[in-house]
Chains A and B, each alone.
Chain A
Amino acid sequence: MLRSIFLDALKNLSGNALRSGLTMLGVIIGVAAVITMIAIVEGGQVWLVNSLERMGTNLLFVWKKRLTVEERQLFAGRNTELRYDDALAIQTRFPDLVVAPILELDGQLKAGDRDYSGRITGTSPEYSQIRNFRPESGQFVSSIDIKEWNRSVVLGHTIAEVLFGSQSAIGEGVKIGDQRFTVKGIMEPKGEIYGHDYDEMVIIPISTGLRFFQGSDKIRSMIIHVPDRQRMDEISQALHQFLVQRHEGVDDIHIRNQGEFLSAVDQTLLTFRLVLGGIAVIALLVGGIGIMNIMLVTVTERTREIGLRKAIGARRQDILLQFLIESTTISVIGGAIGIFVGILAAYGIGDIVARAMPGGGDWGAVVQPTAIAIAFAFAVVVGVGFGLFPAMKASKLEPAEALRYQ
């Protein structure tokens, strides 16, 4: 008899293809929407965290603050600039920090008949280490380069291509301004992170930059790596104090903690997740309401069917079993299709985003097994619940009443 009821229920589903299809559609939409949403949010998160890691971690950024006219008058004659000396002094005073001073210049590069105008960065070997940015071939600026004011240059991936095409550039000569430089290294491709295109960098030893181009020891900024993440705030304060002291009491520097920035990002991500989580819940509800609507629309027909079945000898449990089989079948099949559609949609949208977003090349949806499980479980519960509920009500009616239901 179980077997008969089972077959009968399946026949009922295939006989009412439209009704079954519409109900299934509700399940499919709900499941697919949730999986897609969550996969995209997860993908965004992974991408963000990755790009932060590529940028280097546990960093402090030191800038010179812009002084007002009054302040400048007030502090005239005092030592108020951010200087190369400051970087060296920090390194001596705080030996466990890694300090990379940064100088920025505008200049023109010439190699044979090709040229390039843009920004030239003067820095020290530490830069490569703390920015997690390494040469693909050749070498980065070394401490000997710094000591001897060597005219060596390390080119970003794009610049090397612009100036030398596919030829190896290592050891080739490049003119920067009127100085002859030798190409020492080519950097690995890294792409653009927060508006800064690492592949367009031109890097020279900072000492060389200061001596031949700048003519002073003013630098633009410093990037400082703090090995112990817990101590970033403390060290940031200590550095601030140290620099103010060196600047004869003038508070003209600005230290930004990457951690603050990271927690802002975390906050953004959380908001992102809440919003999309809300959308996912709405998607499930819409799917659920879709299922419920079909159930309500067909409730008259189904109530009469239940009345008739009871009149010819179906027990209440036979009816409930039939409806359980019907709604479970619909929910499970719909859920499975929904998973399939959801994963396809997630990767499809992931691809579109990766192409549309600058620097989003490695962006991709991340389909989480837990998301699949949650979406599927919810859809099955909703599908079976809404499928069984009208049957529970109708099967309580006397057959005479159910048969005359309208």
Chain B
Amino acid sequence: MLIDLNHIFKIYQAGHVEVPALINITLQINKGEFVAIIGQSGSGKTTLLDIIGCLSRPTNGEYWLDGDLVNTLPDSRLTGIRNKKIGFIFQTFHLLPRKTALENVQLPLMYAGASRTVQHDIAQTLLTKVGLQDRLRHYSNQLSGGQQQRVAIARALANSPALLLADEPTGNLDSQSGKDILALFEQLHRHGQTIVMITHDPLIAQQAERRVTLADGRVVADEYMHQSLPVPG
């Protein structure tokens, strides 16, 4: 089992008001699964994915990731986990401005301590894999949204993470770019990549292998679908 969430709570403090964003979430995800998380806006999807990705800590509960009880680990260990085990893809890409595609993809490798030649080679391979072999030295602002998201995917894959997390990766893209990104995910999944993806698009969710529905901070449905995403073509 890759992810094991037990009675997870997340309560935000907005001034004097406590906002419970996640209430008693218990959820297991195995290696190799492709899980879609759906739910209304404000239902806690991003909050949940942040916790899974070690970008924030639960207020309460136990989170086991690949055998580690991560909610008790010190920041320094969490950093290593984020670097090596998790690849995160954001709705707004979060590429560093004024850096080239290559430089953006190299960053996780740099923090992993790879040599500069290794950084360069891996980044180039990954960018080729996402179809950007002729955009290596383009700056973030010289790329289309779809291309930026592909750079972000290459960056997420840089250290071959066990877990790929995506928070509405197609939310800011036109439908064709969205489809291309999804095809990329499907391809990764077929090669055994574990993926957890938040989506608003019911069609995409329909086609997922497993669908977890949140409402008001709780899991209200956890369904295994019969077929995986069709290969687009």
Contacts and interface: CB of A to CB of B under 8 A. Distances in A.
B110 interface: yes
A400 B56 contact: yes
Nearest to A396: B75
Given A4-B119, A312-B83, A312-B88, A398 B111 contact: no
A318 B108 CA distance: 12
Contact of B56 (A1, A315, A401): A401
Nearest to A19: B98
B88 A313 contact: no
A11 B82 contact: no
Contacts of A315: 76, 79, 111
A305 interface: yes
A398 B57 contact: yes
Contact of A313 (B57, B75, B111): B111
B103 A403 contact: no
B150 interface: no
A398 B99 CA distance: 24
Contacts of B112: 313
Interface in A114-138: none
Contacts of B111: 1, 309, 312-315, 318
B55 interface: yes
A232 interface: no
Contacts of A312: 82-83, 88, 107-108, 111, 155, 158
A4 B94 contact: no
Nearest to A315: B79
A16 B98 CA distance: 7
Given A16-B98, A313-B84, A403 B107 contact: no
A116 to B, nearest CB: 75
Contacts of A398: 55-57
A195 to B, nearest CB: 63
A311 B152 CA distance: 12
B110 to A, nearest CB: 4
Contacts of A301: 97
Interface in B26-71: 50, 53, 55-57
B107 A309 contact: yes
A316 B75 contact: yes
Contacts of B158: 312
A313 B108 contact: yes
Interface residues of A, number: 27
B113 interface: yes
Is chain B's interface secondary structure helix, strand, loop, or mixed overall?
helix
B110 A304 contact: no
B201 to A, nearest CB: 23
Contacts of B110: 1, 4-5, 8
Contact of A4 (B75, B79, B82, B116): B116
A314 B78 CA distance: 10
B9 interface: no
Contact of A15 (B80, B99, B155, B159): B99
Given A1-B113, A15-B99, A308 B79 contact: no
A1 B57 CA distance: 28
Contacts of A318: 111
Contact of A311 (B57, B84, B88, B103): B88
Interface string B101-120: 00100011011110010010
A151 interface: no
Nearest to B155: A312
Interface in A271-316: 301, 304-305, 308-316
Interface of B: 50, 53, 55-57, 75-76, 79-80, 82-84, 88, 90, 94, 96-99, 103, 107-108, 110-113, 116, 119, 155, 158-159
Given A313-B82, A315-B76, A403-B94, 18 more contacts: A4-B110, A4-B119, A8-B107, A15-B98, A304-B94, A311-B82, A311-B88, A312-B82, A312-B111, A312-B158, A313-B108, A313-B159, A316-B75, A318-B111, A398-B55, A399-B82, A400-B56, A401-B56
Q: Which 5 A-B pairs have the closest CB atoms?
A: A313-B83, A15-B98, A400-B56, A400-B55, A313-B111
29 contacts: A1-B111, A1-B113, A3-B116, A4-B110, A5-B110, A8-B110, A11-B99, A12-B98, A15-B99, A16-B98, A311-B55, A311-B82, A311-B88, A311-B94, A312-B82, A312-B108, A312-B155, A312-B158, A313-B83, A313-B108, A313-B111, A313-B112, A314-B79, A314-B111, A316-B75, A398-B56, A400-B50, A403-B90, A403-B94
Interface of A: 1, 3-5, 8, 11-12, 15-16, 301, 304-305, 308-316, 318, 398-401, 403
